[in-house]
C-alpha cells in the first residue's frame, strides 16, 4: 500500500510544482494538460495541468489544476509532514517552503527532542518540518 498527497490548485499548479521541485530537488513527471480531455473546460484553461507528479528522493506528490468551476478552499485540516535527519538541511527546507508564505511556528528545538517548524507556503499548502536531534 502507498498513500500519498494529491494537491489541487487554481491555475498555478505548474508554478507550485516548479517551486516544490526546487525545494525538494525533485522532478516533475507525467504532465498532462486538459488539451486532450473531453471535459467541458474553457479553451483558455486547456493548457493547465489535469495531472502531474513530483518525484524525488523521499518525495512523491500528485497535483492538478482544478476545473474553473470547482471551488477550492484553503483549509487547515491537513498538513504535509516532513521528517528529516540533518538539521541544516531541514532548516534550509523550512526557509524555502516558508519563503513568500507564512511561518506559523518558528523552526526551533522542541521538547520531544527535535527541531520543528510549521508554515503555509505561498500556494496555501501547510507544511510541518521535523528533524530529530
- Matching CATH topology for 6-65 and 80-132? yes
Match domain 80-132 to its CATH number in 3.40.50.300, 2.60.40.2470, 3.10.180.10, 3.40.50.880.
3.10.180.10
Domain extents in the chain:
6-65, 80-132
pLDDT tens figures, 59-88 = 999 999 998 888 898 888 889 999 999 999
Q: What is the pLDDT of residue 10?
A: 93
Domain spanning 6-65: which CATH class is it, in words?
alpha beta
pTM for the full predicted model: 0.90
Q: What is the pLDDT of residue 130?
A: 97
88-91: long-range contacts, CB 8 A cutoff, minimum separation 24: 90/115, 90/129, 90/130, 90/131, 91/115, 91/131
Q: What is the pLDDT of residue 41?
A: 86
Residue appearing with cell numbers 524525488? 56
Closest-CA residue to 54 (of 10, 99, 15): 15
Q: Where are the alpha helices (DSSP H) in 35-122?
A: 87-98
Residue 1 clears pLDDT 80, i.e. is over it: no
CB atoms within 10 A of CB 61: 21
Amino acid at each position: 500500500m502507498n498513500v500519498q498527497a494529491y494537491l489541487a490548485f487554481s491555475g498555478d499548479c505548474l508554478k507550485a510544482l516548479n517551486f516544490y521541485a526546487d525545494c525538494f530537488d525533485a522532478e516533475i513527471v507525467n504532465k498532462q494538460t486538459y488539451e486532450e480531455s473531453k471535459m467541458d473546460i474553457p479553451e483558455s484553461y486547456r493548457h493547465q495541468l489535469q495531472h502531474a507528479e513530483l518525484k524525488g528522493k523521499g518525495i512523491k506528490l500528485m497535483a492538478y489544476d482544478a476545473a474553473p468551476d470547482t471551488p477550492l478552499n484553503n483549509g487547515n485540516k491537513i498538513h504535509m509532514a516532513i521528517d528529516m535527519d540533518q538539521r541544516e538541511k531541514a532548516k534550509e527546507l523550512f526557509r524555502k517552503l516558508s519563503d513568500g508564505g507564512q511561518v506559523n511556528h518558528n523552526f526551533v528545538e522542541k521538547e520531544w527532542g527535535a527541531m520543528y517548524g510549521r508554515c503555509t507556503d505561498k500556494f496555501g499548502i501547510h507544511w510541518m518540518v521535523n528533524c530529530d536531534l
